[in-house]
Structure 1
Amino acid sequence: MDAGLAAVLGALAGSVATIGAAMATGWAQREGVRITARSEHRRERREPRHEVYRQFISEANHLGQQAGVYSALEDALMPDYFTEERMQRVHEITRLIEAKATEAALAGPKEIAESALKISRLASHLSGSTGNFRELGSERHQRMRDQARRRILKYAKEYEASLDDFVLRAQSALDDDGSR
Structure 2
Amino acid sequence: MDAGLAAVLGALAGSVATIGAAVATGWAQREEARIAARSEHKRERREPRHEVYRQFISEANHMGQQAGVYSSLGAALTPDYFTEDRTRRVHEMARLIEAKATEAALAGPKEITESALKIAQLASQLSGSVSNFRELTDERYQRMQDQSRRSILKYAKEYEASLNNFTLQAQSALDDDGSRK
Alignment TM class, shorter chain as reference? over 0.9
Alignment length (residue pairs): 180
Q: Matches of 1:153 and 1:2 in 2, distance apart?
A: 91
Q: Matches of 1:169 and 1:9 in 2, distance apart?
A: 59
Q: What CA deviation, in whole Å up to 9, does each residue of 1:39-93 have, x standing for no partner? A: 1011111111111111110010000001111111112211111111111111111
Q: Matches of 1:8 and 1:74 in 2, distance apart?
A: 89
1:28 maps onto 2:25 in alignment:
no
Q: Which runs of 5+ in 1 are unaligned?
A: none
Map of 2:57 onto structure 1: 57
Mapping of 1:45-124 within 5 angstroms? 45-124=45-124
- Structure 1 segments of 4+ aligned residues over 2 angstroms from their partners: none
SS in 1 for 2:137: coil
The Cα of 1:122 is off from its aligned counterpart by: 0.5
Q: TM-score under structure 1 normalisation? A: 0.96
Q: TM-score under structure 2 normalisation? A: 0.96
Map of 2:147 onto structure 1: 147
Q: Matches of 2:75 and 2:24 in 1, distance apart?
A: 71
Q: What CA deviation, in whole Å up to 9, does each residue of 1:109-149 have, x standing for no partner? A: 11111111111110000000000000111111111111111
Q: Matches of 1:139 and 1:9 in 2, distance apart?
A: 100
The Cα of 1:178 is off from its aligned counterpart by: 2.4
RMSD: 1.0
Map of 1:7 onto structure 2: 7
The Cα of 1:29 is off from its aligned counterpart by: 0.6
